[in-house]
Structure 1
Amino acid sequence: MTPSPNGPTGPGGPDVPVVTFDDVRDAARLLAGVAHRTPVLRSRTLDALVGAEVHLKCENFQRVGAFKFRGAYNALSRLSEQQLARGVAAYSSGNHAQAVALAARELGSRAVIVMPEDAPASKVDATAGYGAEIVRYDRYTGDRNAVCRQLAEERGLTLIPPYDHPHVIAGQGTAALELIEETGPLDALLAPVGGGGLMAGSALAATALAPGIRMIGVEPEAGDDTRRSLAAGHPVTIPVPRTIADGQAVESPGELTFAVNRRLLDSVVLVSDDEIRAAMKLAFERLKIVTEPSGASALAALLAGRIEPLPPRVGVIISGGNVGVERFLELLG
């Protein structure tokens, strides 16, 4: 990590670290043998439906069921013995919560996680199952960042944010690194965008390995904070989105993630909740994989014809599969 070259008027000012492709490679070395090298799935049916060669990076098979383990473990493993002994804090609707909880357990630490009251029960149960203490808040009236920061200060915990952290971003980028190492250069890469950590890390890796690749972010229609921010040229805050894609229900992109995505993203496209449901259904019925709503949003954009013009070889990150049986049936019923 190096200081920002943007100076006081650049994104984040002079003290904000710049995350590089070298950081992603370093994270990959650290995660080797700890995180799963998830499979890349191909489907002739999918190729025929969209008219392109599609490569699905299936992070639903990652530890904790989502890409978030990559960034959480990369960040926690770099803490000092004293920091690990005191413990860590995080806020999340579910996947980062589980990732931090498991990483803390693996590293002999403890985790306190701030989760919204309406977080999916399966994600809450899994987070508790990894040994974390859970503190609840109302996502529509409360400030999760403020709640978590106060907890961290009171208890002497190290805060591990879900996306706006250099080691988290670098860790998430290892998903795209693995994908392109396996497939070779791609013409475009689609990834869901919430706070922007997965897309920022993926863009750092993909543009280094495949110069000229189109980086396309996908957001739910109700949560288009990154699209608006890119258009405005600075981070924009929106009301808390109401969407089935709970992992993408954020109000504003991160400072670090926006700095990377502003530079490397080609576009951001939007998908409706119904289009996400259709992608989840196709993934289950034809590809035989379970995806959560956020995990299926990039696939939804491809199926809905949002990518124009559509290039010959496309990568899609299926970011997670954490959805309980009852919720899955409710969404697709």
Structure 2
Amino acid sequence: MTARVILHMPERFIAGFAKGKPPLLYGRIVQTLTARGLTADFAADMPTAAARVLQDGNLHIMENGQVQAQGWLNAATAYLEGFFHVDPKGVQAASSIGARAYEPALIDAEQAARYAQMLHARFTARRHSRYRQMGAVSALPKGAIAVFLQGPAPIRQGQAFASFEEMLRAVVAGAEGRAVLVKPHPLKPELGAEIIATLQAEGHALIATEANVHDILAACAVSVSINSATAIEGFLHQKPAVIFGRSDFHALVQTAHSPSDFPRALRAALHSPPDYAKALYWYFGQNCLDIQADSFDDRLMAIFAAAGFDAARLGV
């Protein structure tokens, strides 16, 4: 039986197609299929319970999914705008990249350097990030520890090894005289402001900032978060990262498994940073889909084939 491709998306994504403004990844998936004489079906349902996960012989792709079942792939932005997971295990912290071996000795240094330069031009030089940032350039203390707060997702999903408050207390206690900058998440500014105010009321020396993420990363010595995109985004600025949670880029950063583990993780991050170019090339160039890459179509079809849906099964 010829299989169909069914895209499970929020209704606003489907509405984007009707308005001629499809969501970036799904528009490109449809384009890739159309070029091969195929079509895609849209579904606004977002099944999570196993009983609702169909195994009907078709290929299902679910936005921000965590489905692990035959015939299902999960999709989401992979931290940098234009990069995506289409993954059989999950997305972001739960993606299958986390189980893959990172072997920098096997990565060509010149190729990695060229790739990092491309990312620099695409993001750093433009001071561009996934979420809207302040346009004005901010003056910030050099050599600070930059803490990036997130929304409730990593806590709710059981990815965090500490609460935001516990993380901030550990950073202040282990800062060794460095200033501590704290940026709320752009989509959850009220939550971030509340956390910062709570810690400041306890007497902790925190500098709240809404500066452009690139200004913060350029000024700081190291980034700290639960598992924020800024951890790997900081590699564009040659800055190491400490995280307090599970991630699929754990091989590239230092993980503090508890608040008391922060001093060790900080020392390791500062004294043994990764090869930033190789790390960026391995994660984004070898393990993610880049919407701007000439190889996007072939790599997408290879992911489909690995999931059991090669060209013949899809009817190409």
Same fold, judged at TM 0.5 (above): no
Q: Which has the larger radius of gyration?
A: 2
**More helix by percentage:** 1
TM-score band (shorter)? under 0.3
